[in-house]
Amino acid sequence: MKEFTRKLCEENSIVGLVPTMGALHQGHLSLIKQARQQCSSLVASIFVNPKQFSPSEDFARYPRTLPSDTEKLENAGVLCLFLPEAKDIYPQNFSTYVNVEGLSERLEGRSRPGHFRGVSTVVMKLLQIVQPQFAYFGRKDAQQAAIISRMAEDLNLDTEIVVCPIERETDGLAMSSRNVYLQTSDRQAATVLYRSLQAAQALLQNGSRDALSLHSAMERVLKEESRAKIDYVEIVDAQTFDPLMHINRKAYVLIATKIGETRLLDNLLVDFSDKGQLTTEL
Amino acid sequence: MKEFTRKLCEENSIVGLVPTMGALHQGHLSLIKQARQQCSSLVASIFVNPKQFSPSEDFARYPRTLPSDTEKLENAGVLCLFLPEAKDIYPQNFSTYVNVEGLSERLEGRSRPGHFRGVSTVVMKLLQIVQPQFAYFGRKDAQQAAIISRMAEDLNLDTEIVVCPIERETDGLAMSSRNVYLQTSDRQAATVLYRSLQAAQALLQNGSRDALSLHSAMERVLKEESRAKIDYVEIVDAQTFDPLMHINRKAYVLIATKIGETRLLDNLLVDFSDKGQLTTEL
């Protein structure tokens, strides 16, 4: 893999990397579409990274759909699929970890201890192996994207981290490989994440900047859905993920909720133009 | 710095990095000499890294001798001195750390908690900034060299880590920037590290492979020197730094001792040829 991209680099190719865990959906394909606009050679990786799953999590049953993934990547114009094995990524005596401290312990990190340390370590390795000029991550996992961006800046990496919009089903459910876990009965209930974010968006568009008001409105929506068990609803600064009381800068409205046995994430991006004009992006 | 070495790279230059904390002595110059044999362009860095000193340690009074360092580097044929400031290496909100787990917690790591996390993080940054084909470290800090080598391998870095022999004063004292701390009265006592390693070496050359015997012989020498306060004497596997009872593979005999107020390190490298022939290197 290293040799392959070194050659591409010598040919002055602009290399883009889309790192995935497979089970590809429209969200991944939108990353690839974005990458094609910036890069001349696209590499996608599929690696279900054991180090980002805790022992109680779904590593073994995480969806694996390699034949259809391969076809999707070929059709999307990906030049190279990097498909490493765990024994090559983590050989015997492997013991080096990259950790973005602070940011990795909150929210998702509190619910999933060690998760982000596994993510930042494997992404670091993938970036060193592929050495892309650009690497693409979905905004659905906003905290992950913030952690990877922070890591790239802190460790002086040459790769620019690009965070791409959330792709949604027609009823608003954010696309995720884990959506296949949703039982028929849960599938409708799962739209409650989107609907609660819409309630927050409406308040913002009506001029509210108060985190507590948004919080209350979202919880009202969520509590109407008996299958939903809230993990957290938080409004945070988009870089540091520090909680915000007053929303006056780039921020995320974050939600993590269990629907039946399936844990789902979603978020609303809030930003302000130079003139203070509000923008929101679901 | 990144632009400078990118240009060198485009000119097919082989770039070598000698990372230092300044206060340069013959040990550093031997790294540069070794680097000149492998590289066409040499970069040296001087950065007294605050993150590898604990609050109780000697960061503030660590020797700083920039004018004479600069002269030495120029005379040694170094093309570029990289002299970053702490505020650029660790800007506000910096929070990403590289840690070689296990290896970083033993021996030096136990005596200096957090030390190696600071070392591996700053070396990672320097390697990303300079992107050398080779980087040079002294064997006097054997555990540091093993940690950096492990990190480079684990994180798939493109840099080859080269570990160079210990340079010694004529009486055997291993060269170190901290030797300037030694009071006149301590200077002679400080040779006890070397003398104890010589005792271990003599036993090995006489056929002993038993770690306990070496240990006893070294402690006998050390206890004759009233100014010496042993921190540890250990015989370890050269890669994992696991303690060895029977010396039958590449190993280090490690010693850390306080002489007065100054903590000093030294070691003996033990190796075996393919035919099982012993070699030792002080």
- Listed residue (A239, A49, A43, A52) closest to A127, CA to CA: A43
Contacts of A239 in chain B (CB under 8 A): 93
Distance (Å, rounded) from C-alpha B26 to C-alpha B20?
Answer: 13
Domain ranges for chain B, please list them: 2-164, 177-281
On the question of pLDDT at A194 being above 90, the answer is: yes
Residues 6+ apart with CB under 8 A from B206: none
> For the whole prediction, is pTM greater than 0.90?
yes
Domain A2-164 has CATH 3.40.50.620: yes
Does A95 sit within 8 Å of B101, measured CB to CB? yes
Tell me what the mean pLDDT of segment B188-207 comes to. 98
- The total number of residues shown for chain B amounts to 282
**% of chain B surpassing 90 pLDDT:** 98
Count of beta carbons in the 10 Å neighbourhood of residue A110: 12
Interface probe, candidates A95, A104, A119, chain B, greatest B C-beta count within 10 A: A95
Its sign, for the CA torsion B176, B177, B180, B182, is negative
How big is the A-B interface in CB pairs under 8 Å?
Answer: 70
Position B228 scores a pLDDT of 96
Query: Under a CB-based contact definition with an 8 Å cutoff, are residues B101 and B85 in contact?
Result: no
Separation in Å, CA of B188 to nearest CA in chain A: 40
- Angle (CA) B80-B84-B87 rounded to 5° is 170
Catalytic residue among A28, A115, A215, A246: A28
Q: CA neighbours within 13 Å on the CB side: how many for B250?
A: 8
pLDDT of residue B88: 97
**CB of B158 within 8 Å of any CB in chain A?**
yes
Distance CA B231, CA B197 (A): 15
The CA distance from A58 to the nearest CA of chain B, in Å, is 25
Residue in B28, B115, B215, B246 annotated catalytic: B28
Mean per-residue pLDDT of chain A = 97
A177-281, CATH topology level: Pantoate--beta-alanine Ligase; Chain: A,domain 2 (3.30.1300)
Structure ipTM: 0.96
Contacts of B150 in chain A (CB under 8 A): 93, 95-96
Catalytic residue list contains A25: no
